[in-house]
Amino acid sequence: MQALSFPCLCRSSLPYSRRVSCLNEKSAHFAPPLGVPPKCHWRRYPVPSMLSNLEADRTRVEDIAARILDLECSIAELRAEQATVQERLNSYRYPVLTLPNEIISEIFIHFLPIYPLCPPLIGILSPICLTHICHKWRAIALATPALWKAIQLSSACTTSTLRNNGDTLIEIFETWLNRSGCCPVSIEINEHGAAFRMPDIIPAIVPHRARLEHLDLYLYDSFLPLFGGPMPLLRYLDLGFRTRTPFTLLDVPQLRTVVLDQIAVTSATLPWVQLTSLTLHIVEPRLCLLILQQTTSLIHCVLGLGPEDESADHPGTITLPCLKSLVLFDIPDGPHVADFELTTFILPTLRKLEISEKFLGTNPIESLASFISTSGCKLRKMCIAWRKFGSSTPEDSYLAAFPHIPSFSFEYDDESSDEEESESDSD
- 258-311 tens-digit pLDDT: 999 989 999 899 999 999 999 999 888 888 999 999 999 999 999 998 877 666
CA distance 297 to 271: 11
- The burial class, CB within 10 Å (0-12 / 13-18 / 19+), for 183 is middle
Instruction: Give counts: helices (H), strands (E), the chain.
Output: 12, 15
What b/e sequence results for 271-285 when a residue is b if at least 16 CB atoms lie within 10 Å of its CB, and e otherwise?
A: ebeebbbbbbbbbbb
Please tell me the pTM assigned to this model: 0.74
CA–CA distances in Å: residue 254 to residues 165, 196, 246, 264: 38, 30, 22, 20
Q: What pLDDT is attached to residue 214?
A: 98
Q: What pLDDT is attached to residue 422?
A: 40
Spans in the chain with pLDDT lower than 70: 1-47, 155-167, 192-199, 221-222, 309-315, 332-339, 414-427
Q: What pLDDT is attached to residue 130?
A: 94
Q: What pLDDT is attached to residue 45?
A: 56
CA distance 424 to 427: 5
Q: What pLDDT is attached to residue 427?
A: 46
Q: What pLDDT is attached to residue 193?
A: 55
Q: 423: how many CB neighbours lie within 10 A of its CB? A: 11
DSSP H stretches of helix in 313-380: 364-375
Domain extent listing, the chain: 55-92, 98-263, 271-307+316-427
Task: Write the pLDDT tens digit of every residue in 88-109.
Answer: 988 888 888 889 999 999 999 9
Return all residues near 239 (Cβ < 8 A) that are at least 6 apart.
Answer: 217, 218, 219, 258, 259, 260, 261, 264, 268
